[in-house]
Amino acid sequence: MNATSTEQASAPVALRSVLSAGERPPRPGPVSTSLTFGRRALLKIKHVPEQLVDVTMFPIMFTLMFTYLFGGALAGSTQEYLQFLLPGILVQANVMITMNTGITLNTDIQNGVFDRFRSLPVWRPSPLVGALLGDAVRYSIGSAVVIVLGLVLGFRPEGGVVGVVLSVALLLVFSFCLSWLWTMLSLILRTPNSVAGVSMMVMFPLTFVSNIFVDPRTMPGWMQAVVEVNPITHLVTVVRGLMDGSVPAGEIGWVLVSSVLLVAVFGPLTMVLYRDKK
Amino acid sequence: MGKLAIETRGLTKSFGTTPAVAGVDLAVSAGVVYGVLGPNGAGKTTTIRMLATLLHPDAGEAHVLGYDVVRDARAVRSRVGLTGQFASVDEDLTGVENLVLLARLLGYSRPRARRRAADLLDAFGLAEAADRQVKKYSGGMRRRIDIAASLVVTPELIFLDEPTTGLDPRSRNQVWEIVRGMVAEGTTVLLTTQYLDEADQLADRIAVIDHGKVVAEGSSGQLKASVGAGSLHVRLRAPEQRAEAERVLAGVLEVSVEPSADPAALSARVSDPERVARSLAELSRSGIDVTEFALGQPSLDEVFLALTGHAAEETPKEDAA
C-alpha cells in the first residue's frame, strides 16, 4: 500500500525531470542507424533462438535428403554426387533463408512497430538495410552448417579455405541483393502467410530449374535456355568453381551484375512502397 | 495570432474509393492537449498518420510546428513523437533494449543511451520490468513503454492514438497523469479517443470528428453549451407514477421527456432553468414523490448524439430503439 502511494506521488516529478532533461543529440548517419537496426535483428535472435531453425535444420535436412536420395541414381555414388551437390545446396540454403526477410518485415508492419521506425528522423532505408545486415549473420550460420556437414560427409573442396570463404562472401552479397525482392513483396502483400506463399512460388522454380541438382545437359533444350538465364545457375557455377580451386571470372562478373540489378530494381520499388505504406 | 502547433486545411485521404478523411481543418495551439473525438472508423487514426508523416494526404495541406508534412517531413519527424494504437515497440525485445535502440537511433552515445533508457523506465514505473521482454508486460505497462518510447528525445509535440483503449481504470489514470505531466513541461499533445469522459478530463479543446469530417470544435464547455443549458434527471419514489410525472414535466418544461433505463427515472434536455424550478413544484403539487432531482451539464455523450445523430460509443441496443 505504502509503496504504491509513494510511487504514484513521485511518478509525475520523475516524469517531469526526464522530460525537461531532454537533450537533442546530433543526428546519426545512415551507417550508424543501419547498424543499430542490425543489432535489433541480433537481439531478436538472442530472444527467439528457435527462429534459427530455417538456417540450421533445413540445410541439414536438404543436404542429407538429396545426397542420399539422388546420389546413387544421378552420379553413380553418393560420394561423387556430394562433391557435385554441396556447392549447389549451399546456394539453395542461403537463397531459401532470404525468404525469411520478407516474412519478418511483414510481421513488423502488421503489428505496428514499423510505424515507430518510419516516424523517426533517420535515413529511411536504414530499418530495411539493418534487417538485411542482421540476416547476413543468419546466412553465415546457414553456410557454416552446410559446409561443416559436407566436410563430415566427405566433401573435399579443392579450392581450400580461400575458395570456401570467397564463395560464402559472394553468396552473402547475392543474398543481400535478392532480399530486396522479398522486402518489396512484403510491402505489397497483406499477411506474413501470403508473403511466405508467394515467396515459395518464386523460390521453387528459381532453385530447382538451375544446375543445383543435375547437369543441365540432360534437360530438354527449352529448359536449358531457362536454366541458362537463371542467376542462381551462374551463382552455383561460381561457387562450384571457387570451391574446386578455379576462378571463373566471367561468371563472377555475371553474379555481381545480377546482384546490382536486383538492388537497382527492387530497392527503389521497396522504398516507394515503404514511404507510403497504408 | 497565437502560435499554432498544428494547422490543416482540407486534409483528405481515401483508401480506394472509401474516403477515410474528407477535408479536415484543424488549428491546434502550442502547449495544449487537443482531443480528437470520434467513433471507430471516423478517420482519427488516418488523420494522425498524415500529421506524423506516415501517410501522404491526397489533398489539402498540413503544417506541424510550422513545417509542411509532405515537403519538410524530416523536420517534422525530428520534432514529434508518435504512439500508435498498436505495438509501437518490439515485443521480442526487453523494455531497456527497446529504449536503448531508439536512443541510439536518435543519436545518443551508447553510455548516454543506457542512462536515458534507465531514467525513462524509472519515471514510468517500469524499472523492475526493464529486463523483461515487452510481450510479457501487462496492458498498462505496455502503454507506458509505448509512450516512453516516444519521449526518448523530448518531442515538442506528441501524437497519442487512443492511448487508453482497453486499459483498466488504474492504468488509464496513470496515462492521464503522464499526459498532464507532458503538457506541464510544454509539450503539445494531440490525442484521439473514443471515450467522451477522457476528452472531457484531459483536453483543452476538442474536435468532434465523424465520417472523416470535423463536425464540431471547441472547449468541452462550449460543446456542451451548444446543445442546451443542461439535462434534468428526476428519480421517483414510486416507479408506477412515472407516466404521470412524464406528463407533468413535459407540460411545464415544454420539451420532450425521456424515460431512463431505471424504471423510476426520467430525463429531459432543458434550456430554461426557470422552468426547471417550477417543474419541481408542479410535481409535488401533483402528489408525486421525488427522491432525486438534478440539473447537470449535458454529458459529451449527449453532445455527440446531438451533433452527429448517433451515439459515440456504439453499444448494441436494438431493443431500446
Question: Given this model, what pLDDT does residue A11 score?
Answer: 54
Which of B267 and B13 is assigned the larger pLDDT? B13
* Residue at B305 is within a domain: no
Range of the domain at B189: 4-224
On whether residue B285 sits in a domain, the answer given is: yes
Residue A234's pLDDT band (cuts 50, 70, 90): very high
Q: List B residues 81-110 in contact with A (Cβ-Cβ < 8 A).
A: 81-82, 84-94, 97, 101-102, 104-109
Q: Which residues of A touch B87 (CB under 8 A)?
A: 111-113
Percent of chain B residues topping a pLDDT of 70: 94
**Does B39 share its domain with B164?**
yes
Element (H, E) at A205: helix A192-208
Residue matched to cell numbers 520499388: A269
Q: Do B36 and B18 lie in a common domain?
A: yes
Q: Does A24 touch chain B (CB under 8 A)?
A: yes
Q: Is residue B217 part of a domain?
A: yes
Predicted pLDDT of residue B311 = 63
Which residues does residue B27 pair with via DSSP β-bridges, in sequence order? B7
- Contact: A112, B181; criterion CB under 8 Å: no
Average of pLDDT values for B114-123?
93
pLDDT at A12 over 60: yes
Q: Between chains, do B108 and A36 touch, taking CB under 8 Å as contact?
A: no
User: How would you classify the pairing of strands B33-37 and B59-64?
Assistant: unpaired
Cβ distance of B123 and A14 shorter than 8 Å? yes
Residue of A nearest to B76 (CA): A121
A25 with B178: Cβ contact below 8 A:
no
CB B27 within 8 A of CB B205: no
Contact call for residues A244 and A162 (beta carbons, < 8 A):
no
At residue B320, the pLDDT reads 35
**CATH assignment at residue B267:** 3.30.70.120
**pLDDT for res B316:** 40
Together in a domain, B155 and B259:
no
B197 pLDDT band, cuts 50/70/90, is: confident
Shared domain for B217 and B102, answered yes or no, is yes
pLDDT band at residue A5 under the 50/70/90 scheme:
very low
pLDDT at B307: 78
- List the one residue out of A234, A278, A248, A269 whose CA is nearest residue A88: A234
Q: Do B29 and B93 sit in the same domain of this protein?
A: yes
Q: Which three cell numbers stand for residue A84?
A: 557435385
Q: Indicate whether B207 and B265 sit together in one domain.
A: no
Q: How far apart are CA B262 and CA B100, in angstroms?
A: 54
Q: How far apart (Å, rounded) are the C-alpha atoms in residues B157 and A236? A: 53
A–B CB contacts, 8 A cutoff, strictly below? 129
pLDDT band at B25 (very low <50, low <70, confident <90, very high): very high
Amino acid in the structure at residue A114: F
Q: Mean pLDDT check: name the lowest of B60-69, B182-191, B261-270.
A: B261-270
Confidence at A237, pLDDT banded by 50, 70, 90: very high
Q: Kindly state whether residues B125 and B151 are assigned to the same domain.
A: yes
Question: Directed axis angle between helix B169-184 and helix B139-149, to 10°?
Answer: 20
The owner of cell 417550477 is B278
Residue B93 to residue A40, Cβ atoms within 8 A = yes
Number of Cα atoms under 13 Å in the Cβ half of residue B140: 15
Which is higher by pLDDT, A130 or B166? A130
Average pLDDT, chain A: 87
**Pair (B67, B189) in one structural domain:** yes
What is the value of ipTM here, to two decimals? 0.83
* Torsion, Cα of A182, A186, A188, A189 (10° steps): 120
Any chain B CB within 8 A of the CB of A43? yes
- Side chain identity at residue B77, one-letter code: R
Instruction: Tell me the shortest Cα–Cα distance from A141 to chain B, in angstroms.
Output: 21
Task: Determine how many CB atoms are found less than 10 A away from the CB of residue B174.
Answer: 23
Interchain contact A107–B (C-beta under 8 A): no
Q: Quickly state the pLDDT bin for B226 (edges 50, 70, 90).
A: confident
Contact B257, B250 (CB under 8 A): yes
Q: In this predicted model, what pLDDT tens digit does every residue of B261-312 receive, in sequence order? A: 888 888 888 877 788 888 888 888 888 888 888 887 777 777 777 777 776 5
| B267 or B97, higher pLDDT | B97
Is residue B313, in this structure, part of any structural domain at all?
A: no
Which of B163, B197, B224 represents a domain boundary (last residue)? B224
Same domain, B157 and B47: yes
CATH number at residue B50: 3.40.50.300
Please tell me which of the candidates A22, A36, A40 has its beta carbon nearest to residue B90: A40
Do B256 and B168 belong together in one domain? no
CA neighbor of B157 nearest in space, from B53, B298, B229, B239: B53
Domain boundary (B197, B224, B251) is at: B224
Indicate the residue among B224, B242, B268 that finishes a domain.
B224
Q: Name which residue leads in pLDDT, A100 or B192.
A: B192
pLDDT of residue A73: 83
Number of domains composing chain B = 2
Same structural domain for residues B9 and B135?
yes
Which of A169-178, B74-83, B226-235, B309-318 comes out lowest in average pLDDT? Answer: B309-318
Q: Is B122 inside a domain boundary? A: yes
CA distance A227 to A205: 10
Q: Is residue A10 predicted with pLDDT exceeding 60?
A: no
Res A22: pLDDT: 65
- Nearest Cα of chain B lies from the Cα of A61 at a distance, in angstroms, of 28
* Residue B317 belongs to some domain of the structure: no
What are the cell numbers at A206?
528459381
Q: For A134-172, what is each residue's pLDDT tens digit?
A: 999 999 999 999 999 999 998 999 888 999 999 999 999
Cell numbers 542490425 correspond to A38
Residue with the bigger pLDDT between A260 and B282: it is: A260
Q: Is residue B61 part of a domain?
A: yes
Q: Provide the pLDDT confidence category of residue A78 given band limits of 50, 70 and 90.
A: confident
Side-chain-side CA neighbours of A103 within 13 Å: the count stands at 15
Asked whether the beta carbons of B163 and B149 are under 8 A apart, the reply is: no
Give the model's pLDDT for residue B35: 94
Give the gyration radius of chain B's Cα atoms. Answer: 24
CB contacts of A37 in chain B (<8 Å) are: 105
Instruction: Give yes or no for B251 touching A (CB within 8 A).
Output: no
* B310 in any annotated domain: no
Mean pLDDT in chain B? 87
C-alpha gyration radius of chain A: 23
Question: Does B164 share its domain with B71?
Answer: yes
Among partner residues A32, A33, A118, which is closest to B54 by beta-carbon distance? A118
